[in-house]
């Protein structure tokens, strides 16, 4: 059977980073999303489909989304038998697991040792990878085509006549959601925009949901076109993390739709996104000050939308060329 020269990108969930990077790296994406089933059934179905795809396609290079320690462990076991080059796209949480002292840490370190290349989102994260070649590649600018029914989407959420901001989150422990809510509620009512919060309500703690009001809307899970319509019509996007070396995915979405974004003020974000974003410390007071400064127009440092896109595309292309070269050099050995 002929080997497939195009990299095969495997993911056991639907994930925007995987979708966008697979497209830019000209990889065939196989995103297996069986979230309607229990964990055991989901893993079994995903494993069977994964093995079947590898046997059918015989890729030279396999790229795996991590976190999914089950997917990455399976590929580490199959690599010697199927003789593919193994690349892992490691998110920040995946790096955290490698530093654990328990069984999960041992497994994660073994997976990384088997891999031929680790992709991380930023240079500081790259310093945490030892013994395996590493490449830096942040999220590319998302491809977003707004649906024709955007106005209907806003009407459905009662937002068609309101100014609102969008907090992009998934209710992970590193996200200061309560501080953002406190900051928004501290703004004078006649100046205060509505705060819409993305992410599944089932993942939010009860104390957060208790803060819901006419000013704070928990959107719950929404379809992708609905989500894109909501971020495209927001005044401001907010995407914060307590991780010092963590990059958030919201920036690439903000540039795609031309909406300014407020990020956590850390070295990694400033080094990666530069002057193309607004920054804040993660305290409620700092977040409020940053939002008020944006709303009043006092923060005039942000370039126009088209310039933000051009600036970041130039930065990203340099990382892409280095990463893509490493991937294909591996494949040609």
CATH of the domain at 204: 3.40.50.2000
Residue 323 lies in a domain: yes
Q: What is the pTM of this model?
A: 0.87
Residue 1 lies in a domain: no
In terms of domains, do 205 and 123 share one?
no
For position 332, what pLDDT does the model report? 45
Give the model confidence (pLDDT) of 74-108 as tens digits: 999 999 999 999 999 997 778 888 988 899 999 99
The owner of tokens 């944006």 is 294
Look over the chain and give the mean of its residue pLDDT values, rounded to a whole number: 92
Residue count (the chain): 333
In terms of domains, do 127 and 253 share one?
no
For the chain, what is the domain count? Answer: 2
Structural domain containing residue 326: 8-137+315-332
In terms of domains, do 120 and 181 share one?
no
In terms of domains, do 128 and 154 share one?
no
In terms of domains, do 114 and 204 share one?
no
Neighbours of 308 (CB within 10 A): 24
Q: CA distances (Å), 121 to each of 12, 29, 203, 312, in order? A: 19, 19, 25, 14
Strands, E, within 72-206: which ranges?
A: 85-90, 117-120, 134-136, 164-167, 194-197
Residue 235 lies in a domain: yes
Sheet containing 278-280: which strands, arranged edge to edge? 216-218, 194-197, 164-167, 236-239, 261-264, 278-280
Residue 308 lies in a domain: no
Across 197-201, average pLDDT = 96
Across 60-79, average pLDDT = 96
In terms of domains, do 278 and 324 share one?
no
Residue 309 lies in a domain: no
Least confident of 38-47, 88-97, 191-200: 88-97
Contacts for 79 with CB less than 8 Å, ≥ 6 apart: 62, 86, 114
Q: Judge whether residue 152 has pLDDT over 70.
A: yes
In the structure encoding, which two tokens stand for residue 44, read together? 């079994």
Q: Judge whether residue 6 has pLDDT over 50.
A: yes
Predicted confidence band of residue 3 (pLDDT cuts 50, 70, 90)? low
In terms of domains, do 242 and 272 share one?
yes
């Amino acid at each position: 059977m002929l080997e497939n020269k195009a990299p095969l990108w495997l993911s056991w969930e639907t994930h925007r980073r995987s979708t966008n990077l697979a497209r830019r790296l000209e990889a065939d994406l196989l995103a297996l999303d069986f979230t309607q089933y229990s964990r055991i059934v989901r893993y079994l179905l995903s494993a069977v489909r994964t093995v079947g795809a590898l046997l059918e396609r015989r890729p030279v290079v396999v790229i795996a989304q991590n976190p999914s320690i089950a997917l990455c462990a399976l590929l580490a076991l199959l690599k010697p038998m199927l003789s593919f080059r193994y690349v892992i796209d490691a998110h920040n949480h995946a790096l955290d697991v490698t530093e654990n002292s328990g069984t999960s840490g041992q497994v994660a370190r073994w997976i990384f040792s088997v891999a031929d290349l680790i992709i991380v989102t930023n240079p500081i994260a790259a310093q945490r990878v030892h013994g395996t070649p590493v490449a830096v590649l942040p999220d590319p600018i998302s491809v977003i085509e707004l649906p024709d029914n955007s106005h209907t989407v806003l009407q459905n959420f009662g937002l068609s006549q309101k100014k609102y901001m969008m907090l992009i989150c998934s209710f992970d422990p590193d996200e200061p959601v309560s501080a953002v809510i406190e900051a928004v509620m501290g703004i004078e009512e006649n100046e205060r925009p509505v705060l819409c919060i993305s992410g599944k309500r089932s993942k939010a703690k009860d104390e957060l949901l208790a803060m819901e009001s006419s000013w704070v809307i928990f959107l719950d899970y929404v379809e992708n076109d609905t989500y894109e319509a909501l971020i495209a019509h927001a005044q401001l996007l907010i995407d914060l993390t307590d991780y010092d070396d963590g990059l958030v995915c919201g920036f690439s979405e903000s540039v795609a739709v031309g909406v300014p974004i407020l990020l956590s003020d850390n070295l990694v974000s400033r080094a990666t996104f530069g002057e193309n974003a607004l920054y804040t410390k993660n305290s409620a007071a700092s977040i409020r000050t940053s939002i008020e400064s944006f709303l009043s127009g006092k923060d005039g440092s942000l370039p126009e939308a088209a310039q933000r896109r051009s600036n970041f595309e130039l930065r990203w292309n340099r990382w892409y060329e280095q990463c893509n070269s490493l991937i294909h050099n591996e494949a040609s050995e």
